[in-house]
Structure 1
Amino acid sequence: MKINEAIELLKQKGYKTTGKRKEILTFFDNADGYRTAKDLIQHLEASYEGISFDTVYRNLHLYNQVGILETTELNGEKHFRMNCTHHHHHHFICRDCGKTKEIEVCPMDEVQHSLAGYSIEGHKFEIYGRCPGCRLALT
């Protein structure tokens, strides 16, 4: 999802697009992979001294709720990234840096055979490990 699409979606849902909200969108648009609320707060503090955790978490929750951001949990902490809406795919996620790589294969083709008669309403498939850069840093 691009920033303009996200702003339009917020407007359609009846939400204002404040400077902070645009800055949050820019942060995630520029991020290469998943980022934490702490990462976002550190980024925003340069422009908004004393920004509250409540403000950040409220906006992260809103963006996730309306479909702008997607979430995952890494090392016991919630991470966020811009929602990928251009085509169906899954992700490899680096546990160290949060970078992602798209995986075009979908395991649901196999799973659907095992769940004949069940109504599947959605799915999420993620693989966790270390990206090549983080693997090299360990050696």
Structure 2
Amino acid sequence: MERSTRQRTAIREAIGLAGRPLLPQEVLESAQNQVPGLGIATVYRTLKQLVDEGELRAVRLPGDNPRYESVNHGHHHHFQCTTCQRVFDVHACPGNLARLAPDGFTVEDHDLTLYGQCLTCQPKPASRRPATSKPQTRR
């Protein structure tokens, strides 16, 4: 049974608007824009309910806490920024990776995570100043 439709709606919208998998704390911070009194316990409880109901899925990266995203994305992979730790969707797939499995093994699924720096965290190229000409001296 839903405790609060307003809270649940804010949590759904936070995940939907983000366009990327979110940590529970990120869900809380975003959803609090609509429901200022929302607490982390409610976020965890609601995330669990939405996963159990098949509306959300947990994205589990090695050595990291689960993030949550909509199940409506279909098959896709992820990119994790090594600077800010945010995770982004990658809507491309290398295809059938069965050829990488040992002989006789059957591949049932795969998950691929790319690591690097997101656009926000990449160092900005140093701006080049236009070459200045030396002032000419009058004789």
Query: Do these two structures clear the TM 0.5 threshold for a shared fold by scoring above it?
Result: yes
1:57, distance to aligned residue in structure 2 (A): 0.5
TM-score, normalised via structure 2 length: 0.65
2:76 alignment partner in structure 1? 89
Query: 5+ unaligned residues in a row in structure 1: which ranges?
Result: 1-14
Name the structure 1 match of 2:131.
none
1:77–1:68 distance in 2 versus 1, CA, 3 Å: closer
Between Structure 1 and Structure 2, the one with more helix by share is 1
* Conserved 8 A contact 1:89-1:105: no
Kindly indicate whether residue 78 of structure 2 is the aligned counterpart of residue 98 of structure 1.
no
Matched residue type, 1:102: H
Q: Which moved more, 1:29-38 or 1:124-133?
A: 124-133
Task: Give the equivalent residue in structure 2 for 1:108.
Answer: 97
Runs of 5+ consecutive residues of structure 2 not aligned to the other structure: 127-139
- Whichever structure has more strand as a proportion of its residues is 1
Q: Does 1:69 align with 2:57?
A: yes
1:35–1:98: 8 Å Cα contact kept in structure 2? yes
Q: How many residues align?
A: 122
> What residue is the counterpart of 1:35 in the other structure?
22
Greater relative contact order (Cα < 8 A, sep 6+): 1
Alignment TM-score, normalising by the size of structure 1: 0.65
Partner of residue 121, structure 2:
134
Larger radius of gyration: 2
